Structure 1
């Protein structure tokens, strides 16, 4: 266990894995199985959209089909990401609202066609293809730009620099969040390479869960009453947490001062009895197993904090990082 935890702590200084997990909506097994048998390539977005419209009738099924096909067949281009500036840019100018809409759609569709041909891209490419396919399938879609919370230094940092893009699609009368970029894979922290790994934690994700890692530039797209300050104050939640089925009830804040804190009380709802919990302070990388006190479906434990414990505190469940906090002087 010690070796695994130390490897993970070292990796935390790089970039966390893209969020993985199970869907927060109904079962989509039939849709996913059908999409798994689709061709790996299509000549154009129109061809793929036509196939989806032929096979699926409901808005929800069409949105899922687009998400699943892209997540299975489009690969994240890490080299392109590293060469880009942090904020996605639109490469056009306009003098009227009509011209803006037309040029924006052309920009998206050109990007969508390129991504479908190369099958490699970054978040703005994923969102362009998803948005285009939605339009071609008769779905209302938005592309949203904002800040992601994906690394330890983001704890306590206000969302001021846009570094990510995602979508919202309208199903019935409700707008639903989708992040197909994070649905397509994750970064292997040991190798620094991207891994294709289908996940659907970010398909139709409830706003409160989506908020843990996404803050839009336009606050109208939050779909919650949370603020930028709330986002900054959050701990860093890892992918394993979102797929776990349990919930950290406390603490809700992500920053603790060693001058004001001697113990950090934690409580977890619905943690399986067989699960083991440990914590590590980044300044010593020493894993500490905890003894859980269980009352009903809630498990509690305390973490003692001393003046030498500064940096980051990471909680592990079964050797997997699930949440991290920042410890300040």
Structure 2
């Protein structure tokens, strides 16, 4: 049965001291109604940036992702199921959802983002819930529909993007448990980086002057969360779908800003070849040491062609390509 693995001890000892604009006292604020919680967290802060940081970190460290029940075709969002006989139903939707999330201490992305917005609203900070598409699952890459929510917040005279759901942890591919593991990458992420895995319904919320078309976003290789840790500057092929037949050799090239610096980064403990070596998955390791800052991979497609090819860098999966099987031999561009 899926549950929660709490890594808050690691969070408190290793992560909190490194965060900028964060007041550690805010970590000890207990659960309370949204308006009271917002005021308590804000009381430790001297400016709006510190308040935004306090709200973000508190939610990530206290709200757990709700594991979807098995054998259900559609997610139920219990934080949105409001008892209309309750006088609280007269409150704004964001507040009602926030109250439910704080009561359950669990949420899906909608609950995370609405709770964050509610805390900001009570603190007088402009915040929006953004709906869009996030590339997270092994699904049909040809489909494109909203499947995620995150936030935009106005602080220090400009809008910024953040995703408190993804910052809070991940679901273990081995056990199905939610693992609380804070990821500060998703706090005020630069827009040109955020767009790599978040595409909003309203393209104005890319916060970019120029944004990639939907097709380009949807067809590029999937970047694992480990990708963002490293200084990878480019990769080949740029398309996330590779057409191949048994016997074809696929060549992958990564280029990084500094191989030596990347080697100092510890790989994620969640992933190894035994985890990735399931049916329909394949793994590609570098064929030799790096050539300068280029890392080269070569993978020969077997008779039982896998559907997914994971590219491993520094013992971390960083990219995932989809192999589209073709009957007969196909010429492969290996240059």
TM-score bin, normalised by smaller chain: 0.7 to 0.9
Answer whether contact 1:151 1:236 (CA < 8 A) is retained. no
Match of 1:291 in 2: 288
**Cα distance in 2 between the residues matched to 1:104 and 1:304:** 59
Q: Structure 1 unaligned segments of length 5 or more: list them.
A: 1-26, 93-102
Aligned CA distance change for structure 1 residues 304 and 84 (closer, same or farther; 3 Å)? closer
What aligned pairs does 1:116-155 form with structure 2 within 5 A after superposition?
116-154=102-140
Correspondent of 1:240 among 218, 226, 230 = 226
Q: Given the alignment of the two structures, is residue 270 of structure 1 paired with residue 257 of structure 2, yes or no?
A: yes
Aligned CA distance change for structure 1 residues 313 and 123 (closer, same or farther; 3 Å)? same
Match of 2:316 in 1: 320
**RMSD of the alignment, in Å?**
3.3
Aligned CA distance change for structure 1 residues 105 and 173 (closer, same or farther; 3 Å)? farther
Give the superposition deviation at 1:86: 5.7
Aligned CA distance change for structure 1 residues 130 and 82 (closer, same or farther; 3 Å)? farther
**Cα distance in 2 between the residues matched to 1:72 and 1:157:** 35
Q: Given the alignment of the two structures, is residue 157 of structure 1 paired with residue 152 of structure 2, yes or no?
A: no
Aligned residues between the structures: 286
Normalised TM-score (structure 2) = 0.74
Aligned CA distance change for structure 1 residues 188 and 325 (closer, same or farther; 3 Å)? same
Match of 1:115 in 2: 101
Match of 1:311 in 2: 307
Give the superposition deviation at 1:253: 2.0
Aligned CA distance change for structure 1 residues 294 and 321 (closer, same or farther; 3 Å)? same
**Cα distance in 2 between the residues matched to 1:82 and 1:32:** 43
Aligned CA distance change for structure 1 residues 81 and 106 (closer, same or farther; 3 Å)? farther
Match of 2:330 in 1: none
**Cα distance in 1 between the residues matched to 2:157 and 2:21:** 24
Match of 2:37 in 1: 48
Answer whether contact 2:231 2:256 (CA < 8 A) is retained. no
**Cα distance in 2 between the residues matched to 1:143 and 1:122:** 13
Q: What is the SS of the residue equivalent to 1:313?
A: strand
Deviates more, 1:310-319 or 1:70-79: 310-319
Answer whether contact 1:240 1:320 (CA < 8 A) is retained. yes
Q: Given the alignment of the two structures, is residue 66 of structure 1 paired with residue 38 of structure 2, yes or no?
A: no
Q: What is the SS of the residue equivalent to 1:182?
A: helix
Give the superposition deviation at 1:243: 2.2
**Cα distance in 2 between the residues matched to 1:284 and 1:127:** 33
Give the superposition deviation at 1:216: 1.5
**Cα distance in 2 between the residues matched to 1:311 and 1:271:** 31
**Cα distance in 2 between the residues matched to 1:82 and 1:174:** 44
Q: Structure 2 unaligned segments of length 5 or more: list them.
A: 1-17, 83-88, 327-335
Match of 1:206 in 2: 190
Answer whether contact 2:65 2:108 (CA < 8 A) is retained. yes
Normalised TM-score (structure 1) = 0.75
**Cα distance in 2 between the residues matched to 1:53 and 1:234:** 41
Q: Which has the higher contact order (CA 8 A, sep 6+)?
A: 1
Correspondent of 1:31 among 14, 18, 22 = 22
**Cα distance in 1 between the residues matched to 2:311 and 2:142:** 20
Aligned CA distance change for structure 1 residues 314 and 32 (closer, same or farther; 3 Å)? farther
